[in-house]
Structure 1
């Protein structure tokens, strides 16, 4: 009588789902054990450092987070007052970091996409200007560019009484950027438009010069790197795909939008993830121009409490968490475009 594969001791097709489930469970358990061990190691290092500080007569611990901060923070979200505890000041610092990094990331991706495509166009002047800009910003340190942008915002722009109108309702001056912003009134949510006044624009959202400088510097600097990523992704698309799009009668813009960029994404997204991570971490340089982001709040807290180790540990933990969240979100998007292309 013939025997089946399972009777002969070899796994049959019916055993494969069970083996796959067990492999998945084993992989998850191993990851949980690794994460638990890593968290335990970090906890031990922190506690050991605190014990050493206490043994040397240095006050240590994170209990100061519940004390009244008393440090000034000029702007930010969520709102903060000096009488609130230190944890609220750190929360405002995190909010200010995201408030600068998110718009800068969006601007960097949009500008980098335009520069990357512009460098590949057959028009020599356009491609030359794009290449010149990319080489310029990529070879000058970000801190110097940030200081230059801050100087330009603070010195070269017009006075608040004579602001420069960039768009309808958008005014730029030494006092910063005024732009329309939704506000809640008796009639519900309405868009409030800034108006030019005797002492500067009034109404809408008023963005400080320090905020404008850090967002502009991060966006302009990172756009050069994003442009090279986009250029490499576009050039990685096989030439046959370009020829097929032309054979279908697509215009150059349609060819790039519907055929080339969807396939280039699969090369662009992984490298773009690293650039967005770098941009978020580079936002810590905002302390150089006085913008009250996380590192600036930590420095003021250290000066007030002397808890240098604890403040630096908080900053490191926050940036680690932000990096993991960005990497996780971009990895999910990368899996999506790798399977389905442009959606």
Structure 2
């Protein structure tokens, strides 16, 4: 075939691929139109109206109570306030759960690779138990068999003279929230940045120039002492106090049984999967990297910190993203502990108003947006830790 001859369009792969994509798009659009038309017909048949105006209607109260409300809420408030309460409750569980599960998962994952036989076996048993039992069953266990079985409020279980456990929840020490507390938090934030910069400079000097880095240790010690003072004294911790006459716990942070059982259940369940991600990521690093780092005379802690873990992190981030997304979606099981998250509140609103389709769309959109934010953040972090080719 000469250059002047044209390929017939029915044999041109570029045109065929384009036509195939257009066909798929048309089929998908047709399916959406069919489903939407079917929804409209059913609404008309049942004499129902489709719309979201009832959410913002101040003349139409939500009409139900919500426990664990983080903001002022009354049953006479509009539906949008009730949904906002549920959203904040969901975000509390998601954010706390992701942080705690990541910390616990990394610890257990490192324990799975420990040279200590007992630590390794304990980590293995933990992973196998919590990874291989249903999450819903675990939530029922934490709520019904643990928190609701604690002593009554007039005789709580006291741990470390600062943590109170009762059938009304768990109370832990918490900063007072005064000006002193906020100034101490700012100091801790600044010290964390300084410590990171000093530690990185010390590590680079030790590797590149062979310095001992003792002077940097003096600086780090000073930062550590000031941070410890700010943490122990500056934050003005308030221990929970039991008021027997009123039958309640004052001061400190009070976690309801519903919230605490849901948070613990999600944390220990997700951490078991994260532990396996961490273990697999570390074992994926070539054995030669371990041997080369040891040949340079690096201590085992520095080998893990400077050589192994940074390389393993590039492998771990994608599956870690999936685990964080799973935790966010699994928080919708909050109804098992009677915790009022966005799903539980939306379900109640649907029962009260008869707007099941609208509330289903609200819940789906909420979880979709939250998961897209988590995914975008992890993808950005993944991009930062990847090797940059020159």
TM class, shorter-length: 0.7 to 0.9
Give the superposition deviation at 1:268: 0.5
Give the superposition deviation at 1:186: 8.8
Structure 1 unaligned blocks of 5 or more: 1-37
3-state SS of paired residue (1:101): helix
- Give the TM-score of the pair, scaled to structure 1: 0.81
Residue in structure 1 matched with residue 331 of structure 2 by the alignment: 283
1:65 is aligned, of 55, 75, 94, to 55
Using the alignment, how far apart are the partners of 2:273 and 2:347 within structure 1?
30
1:256 is aligned, of 304, 314, 338, to 304
Using the alignment, how far apart are the partners of 1:87 and 1:284 within structure 2?
19
Contact 1:234 1:261 in 2 (8 A): yes
Give the superposition deviation at 1:157: 2.4
Give the superposition deviation at 1:222: 0.5
2:241 is aligned, of 195, 218, 223, to 195
Using the alignment, how far apart are the partners of 1:43 and 1:280 within structure 2?
31
Structure 2 unaligned blocks of 5 or more: 1-27, 183-234
3-state SS of paired residue (1:196): strand
Larger deviation: 263-272 or 69-78? Answer: 69-78
Give the superposition deviation at 1:313: 0.8
Going from structure 1 to structure 2, the CA distance change for 1:182 and 1:276 (only over 3 Å counts) comes to: same
Contact 2:181 2:236 in 1 (8 A): no
Going from structure 1 to structure 2, the CA distance change for 1:121 and 1:187 (only over 3 Å counts) comes to: closer
Deviations 1:285-335 (A, max 9, x none): 011111000111011111110111111110001011111111000000000
3-state SS of paired residue (2:250): coil
Larger deviation: 238-247 or 155-164? Answer: 155-164
- How many aligned positions are there? 306
Residue in structure 2 matched with residue 146 of structure 1 by the alignment: 139
Contact 1:284 1:293 in 2 (8 A): yes
Residue in structure 1 matched with residue 381 of structure 2 by the alignment: 333
Residue in structure 2 matched with residue 230 of structure 1 by the alignment: 278
Using the alignment, how far apart are the partners of 1:253 and 1:50 within structure 2?
64
Following superposition of structure 1 onto structure 2, how do residues 39-188 of structure 1 map, counting pairs within 5 Å? 49-50=39-40, 52-66=42-56, 67-167=60-160, 169-184=162-177
Give the superposition deviation at 1:49: 2.7
Residue in structure 1 matched with residue 367 of structure 2 by the alignment: 319
Using the alignment, how far apart are the partners of 1:134 and 1:236 within structure 2?
19
Using the alignment, how far apart are the partners of 1:79 and 1:44 within structure 2?
43
3-state SS of paired residue (2:242): coil
Contact 2:148 2:257 in 1 (8 A): no
Q: Which has the higher contact order (CA 8 A, sep 6+)?
A: 2
